[in-house]
């Protein structure tokens, strides 16, 4: 194919997860990869809450919309939160904590992919309720939940998600999103 890193090429937003637990040594490597991400002035504003075990996972499951039913198969869900005060706020008002946390999540996703696992960040959940249920302080923003687990049987997926599991990876052409020297987006 190309000289793109293998984990980047094969990574997909898979939903067919197995309930088999993730070994602790693998989970540690994944989380170590996440904390090795770059950040503004090395502030490392991200905080990860690794949720395992049915008692704790049920707090997340109770606060998922129906479309994210498949997350209930994940043996691990990582809650990613930041407090914007813990990172750079730039002169034009940009809060860099969110960008830095995204870099850390990408490291997590790539390491999980390298380990043969699925790591699927989601935006669909009840953030206020999950923060309360997991004891995340109010001054933190819960950015994403990452469903993490081994690839599993697809039989529990609905028709739409089953189709997505087997669809061609769809990306915009480079020319549509990468410009050189002057902005060339067709809005």
Residue 169 belongs to a domain: yes
CATH number for 148: 3.40.109.10
pLDDT of residue 1: 52
pLDDT of residue 2: 77
pLDDT of residue 11: 94
Residue 156 belongs to a domain: yes
Residue 118 belongs to a domain: yes
Residue 136 belongs to a domain: yes
Residue 173 belongs to a domain: yes
Helix axes 97-114, 24-35, angle to 10 degrees: 140
β partners of residue 51: 77
pTM beyond 0.85, yes or no: yes
Burial environment of residue 113 by CB neighbours within 10 A (0 to 12, 13 to 18, 19 or more):
buried
Residue 79 belongs to a domain: yes
pLDDT of residue 182: 92
Q: Which domain range does residue 113 map to?
A: 6-177
- Report the C-alpha dihedral over residues 99, 100, 106, 109, rounded to 10 degrees: -120
Residue 73 belongs to a domain: yes
**Number of structural domains, the chain?**
1
pLDDT (tens place) for every residue of the chain, 187 residues total = 579 999 999 899 999 999 999 999 999 999 999 999 999 999 999 999 999 999 999 999 999 999 999 999 999 999 999 999 999 998 998 899 999 999 999 999 999 999 999 999 999 999 999 999 999 999 999 999 999 999 999 999 999 999 999 898 889 999 999 999 999 888 7
Residue 91 belongs to a domain: yes
Distance between CA 111 and CA 114 in Å, rounded? 5
β partners of residue 82: 46, 141
């Amino acid at each position: 194919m190309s000289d793109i890193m293998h984990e980047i090429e094969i990574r997909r937003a898979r939903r067919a997860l197995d309930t088999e637990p993730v070994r602790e040594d693998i989970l540690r490597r994944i989380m170590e990869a996440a904390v090795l991400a770059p950040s503004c002035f090395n502030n490392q504003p991200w905080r990860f809450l690794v949720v395992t075990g049915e008692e704790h996972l049920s707090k997340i499951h109770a606060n998922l919309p129906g479309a994210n039913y498949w997350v209930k198969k994940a043996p691990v869900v990582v809650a990613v939160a930041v407090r914007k005060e813990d990172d750079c706020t730039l002169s034009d008002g940009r809060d860099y904590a969110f960008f830095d946390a995204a870099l850390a999540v990408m490291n997590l996703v790539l390491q999980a992919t390298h380990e043969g696992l699925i790591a699927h960040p989601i935006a669909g959940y009840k953030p206020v309720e999950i923060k309360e249920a997991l004891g995340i302080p109010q001054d933190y923003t819960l950015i994403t939940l990452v469903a993490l687990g081994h690839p599993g049987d697809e039989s529990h997926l609905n028709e739409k998600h089953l189709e997505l599991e087997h669809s061609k990876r769809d990306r915009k052409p480079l020319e549509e999103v990468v410009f050189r020297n002057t902005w060339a987006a067709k809005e």
